[in-house]
């Protein structure tokens, strides 16, 4: 498992630029503690992520049809 963060650049946001193949969002690989650079099994990554996130600041989401 590898994590990658994708987001519009500040210039794309400022200029309301449309994202496309010619103007893609910026991306950055995210290191998961305990995982080698080449990636790791999902369970190892999940445990590292669960350990890093304070559950008090996370809302349960049951999917797109939840209300």
pLDDT-based confidence at residue 30 (cuts at 50, 70, 90)? confident
Average pLDDT over residues 47-62: 84
Task: Give the three-state DSSP class for 52.
Answer: helix
Q: Distance of CA 63 to CAs 6, 21, 43, 66, Å?
A: 21, 29, 22, 6
6: pLDDT strictly greater than 70: yes
- Please state the pTM of the whole predicted model: 0.56
| Contact call for residues 35 and 45 (beta carbons, < 8 A) | yes
């Amino acid at each position: 498992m590898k994590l990658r963060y994708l987001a519009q650049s500040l210039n794309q946001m400022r200029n309301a630029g449309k994202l496309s193949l010619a103007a893609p969002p910026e991306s950055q690989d995210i290191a998961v503690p305990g995982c080698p650079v080449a990636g790791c099994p999902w369970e190892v990554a999940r445990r590292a992520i669960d350990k890093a996130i304070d559950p008090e600041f996370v809302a349960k989401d049951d999917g797109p049809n939840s209300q």
